[in-house]
Structure 1
Amino acid sequence: MKKTDPITQVVAIGIGAALFFVLGRFLSIPSPIPNTSISIQYAVLAVFAVLFGPLVGVAAGAIGHVLVDATGYGIWASWEIATAVFGLTLGLVMLNNKIREGVLPGKDLVKFNLAVVIAHAVAWLVVAPLGDILIYSEPANKVFVQGAFAFASNAVTTCVLGTIILLAYARTRTKSGSLSLEK
């Protein structure tokens, strides 16, 4: 991955947070588990973390999730922190990829999908439930059920939609050295 300049990172954070907010606020799918939904915004956050790195993943995720919560449920720090952990983890695991140069080998897609599952597991099976217990004194059985549902639904939607978005993005990029001079 090419080094991303600070201006590009700030713009990516703003666009990523805005997309996370719009998708999370207006396109979330209700679930049978209280205070959880099927969320497609994590696919977009994953793509931003892959393309622009862990700093963008953390900031876009945290800002976007705060905006979703501030206009809906109310601020819920443990889940916002979990979203930031997801963006950070995925961004770190996917460092040094060449997707922005149009190179997306199968091994990188496998790595992406494994990283998505691991990052969601850390975020929703560990960080969010423990944060709910420690910060809000929520009952453990409730928050681990919510976390398990969030993990499963987010992992599936992120793997499927994130893979589709990354494949489409990589195909739009010109590979370096692919242009030749006609004679």
Structure 2
Amino acid sequence: MKNNSSIKTVVAVGIGAALFFVLGRFVAIPSPVPNTNISLQYAVLALLAAMYGPVAGGLIGFIGHALIDLSWGGSPWWSWVITSAFVGVVIGLFAKKLNVQEGEFGKGKVAVFVVSNVIAHVIGWVVVAPVLDILIYAEPANKVFAQGVFAAVSNTVTGVIVGGLLILAYTKTIAKKGSLDQE
């Protein structure tokens, strides 16, 4: 059973990184903040991190964001690649509490999902990304913190709303324990 779980996680990482890349590269919505987009890929990251845990979440964020940056013809912007991985890990740390494979996504689990996204995106984009931008790239603090605050808000909103809808749709497809009656 453990081997089957590992295979599912590897497949989830591959599909998740591909979806993260496609959404981030081709469905990015421009924002008024320079070099910062409204990013729907964080909804997919939230869904898959909640389903498969911190390792899968971290790898999806890292690989997917690195591929987006590489596809633009330059080298990855490592501070943001690391932050996407961080976001996936943090949301994934709540996976056992969410346990979406049970097919339940009631008010309590929605609250946990919202809190996990808020924690991940606020710490990631308001602390981790700007500090790494300053340390790695010597970027001006006012610029990177403005980008970080916008990214935290927009990524939290897309992660919670779109990601929450994806989890809700997923949980509706799962038969509940004891839902089948014997005839």
Per the shorter chain, which TM-score range? over 0.9
What's the secondary structure of 1:176's corresponding residue?
coil
Alignment match, 1:155: 156
Cα offset, 1:95, TM superposition: 2.1
Structure 1 stretches of 4+ moved >4 Å: none
What's the secondary structure of 2:181's corresponding residue?
coil
Alignment match, 2:66: 66
Distance 1:8 1:94 in 2: 15
Cα offset, 1:179, TM superposition: 1.1
Alignment match, 1:6: 6
What's the secondary structure of 1:175's corresponding residue?
coil
Alignment match, 1:165: 166
Aligned residues: 181
Alignment match, 2:28: 28
**Over aligned residue pairs, what C-alpha RMSD do you find?**
1.5
Alignment match, 2:44: 44
Segments of 5+ residues of structure 1 without an aligned counterpart are none
Cα offset, 1:74, TM superposition: 3.7
Cα offset, 1:14, TM superposition: 0.1
Alignment match, 1:143: 144
Maintained 8 Å contact 2:53/2:94: no
TM-score with structure 1 setting the length = 0.95
Query: Once the two structures are aligned, what percentage of the paired residues are identical?
Result: 51
Distance 1:7 1:80 in 2: 25
Amino acid corresponding to residue 46 of structure 2 in structure 1:
A
TM-score with structure 2 setting the length = 0.95
Higher mean C-alpha displacement, 92-101 vs 39-48: 92-101
Cα offset, 1:128, TM superposition: 0.3
Distance 2:89 2:19 in 1: 18
Distance 1:129 1:120 in 2: 12
Segments of 5+ residues of structure 2 without an aligned counterpart are none
Distance 2:115 2:121 in 1: 10
